Amino acid sequence: MTAPVARLTALATSVPPYELRQDALMAHAAKLLPGIDAEALARMLPVYENAGIATRYSCVPLEWYERPHGWAEKNRLYLDHAVALAEAAAADALDRAGIAAAEVDSIVAVSTTGIATPSLDALLMERMDFRRNTERTPVFGLGCAGGVLGLTRAAALARADPGKIVLLLVVELCGLTFRRSDPSKANMVATALFGDGAAAALVSCAGDGPMIEHSGEHTWPDTLDVMGWRVEEDGLGVQFSRDIPAMTRTEFRDAAHRFLAERNLALDDIDHFVCHPGGAKVLDALEEAFGVAPGGLTVSRAVLNDYGNMSAASVLFVLERTLRQGARGRMLLSSLGPGFTAAFLTMTAS
């Protein structure tokens, strides 16, 4: 008996209304980070200039970041705006697929930038016409790997019951994690990189769309401190290791080769690399790891330029733009997230 094939039948993205230009953020850096003295700030400003970002989008205006805010206020904003962005992306995906919310059988909701109990999928059910017996799978803690791993989980659910329509929601409001009280380099880098965004994908074994093929992940030992959040009084504190680009060139490259080899594939079999744009240095390292010419990850770099790093949602923005440009053939989706974990997925568009 032939195994069922999961397909991506629709994909849509959404961003909040406030556009933040990188040059404006640089001009406001002293107000955004009052705890950093002028000399240290001058040393850090090249982080903004070299980030490869022109614009980002935020659920709050620039002036909001110039005032202190506590964890409770930030999470209230997260709940309001995350649900609204998820609704916009979901409605667009459903419209593109030509189906109603009531036809969705299962929802996978991925987010790591706020706490929601009831979960985002439950909150969304009060705003959209999903059936009351719709299955819900909220997923927290995957960070930047959540876009690829969320799509993997959605495809697994679709294959387990080929008649199901699965809706994947990925929502990240990274801007709300900004902490004015934190003068660390990691927080400064986050301030120069992070943006807000959401994506929605419909996955089913029926209908048309790119085939979701192989998936895999690798979690390295003794790497829990490479990437993640610290819970602080004024919100989630970012944790970044300066070793991420170096690890991407070596450990990530080796993991990608193993993932492909175990499925009788090689880098030469990949027509398009759909990479999470974590930052300009990470993209440099990914190009080296995959043997792509410098600057060759053009779509990932364009998404980084236009939206910044939206954590788990970013790779789906890259995938949407890649498909919109008419890409055909086999794609390799990849991302790195807390754990420290690499996520991989192959997809073929005909």
pLDDT of 273 higher than 70: yes
How remote is the C-alpha of 288 from its chain's centroid?
A: 22
3-state secondary structure of 202: strand
Beta strands 272-275 and 329-337, pairing class = parallel
CB 267 within 8 A of CB 257: yes
Tens of pLDDT, residues 166-213: 999 999 999 998 887 777 777 777 788 899 999 999 999 988 899 999
Tens of pLDDT, residues 138-153: 999 999 999 999 999 9
DSSP state of 2: P
Domain architecture of the chain: domains with CATH: 6-204 (3.40.47.10), 211-349 (3.40.47.10)
pLDDT of 214 higher than 90: yes
Structure-block tokens of residue 74: 């930030």
Q: In this structure, which amino acid lies at residue 322?
A: T
Catalytic pick among 144, 174, 205, 275: 144
Tens of pLDDT, residues 92-126: 999 999 999 999 999 999 999 999 999 999 999 99
Rounded to whole angstroms, how far apart are CA atoms 335 and 275? 6
Going by pLDDT thresholds of 50, 70 and 90, the confidence category of residue 236 is: confident
Find all residues with CB under 8 Å of 216, minimum gap 6, and list them.
259, 262, 343, 344, 345
Rounded to whole angstroms, how far apart are CA atoms 340 and 336? 7
144 in active site: yes
Rounded to whole angstroms, how far apart are CA atoms 4 and 194? 38
CB 177 within 8 A of CB 229: yes
List beta partners, residue 342.
218, 336
Q: What is the biggest distance separating any 2 CA atoms in the chain, rounded to whole angstroms?
A: 68
Rounded to two decimals, the pTM is: 0.94
pLDDT of 45 higher than 80: no
Beta strands 235-240 and 227-232, pairing class = antiparallel
Q: In this structure, which amino acid lies at residue 206?
A: A
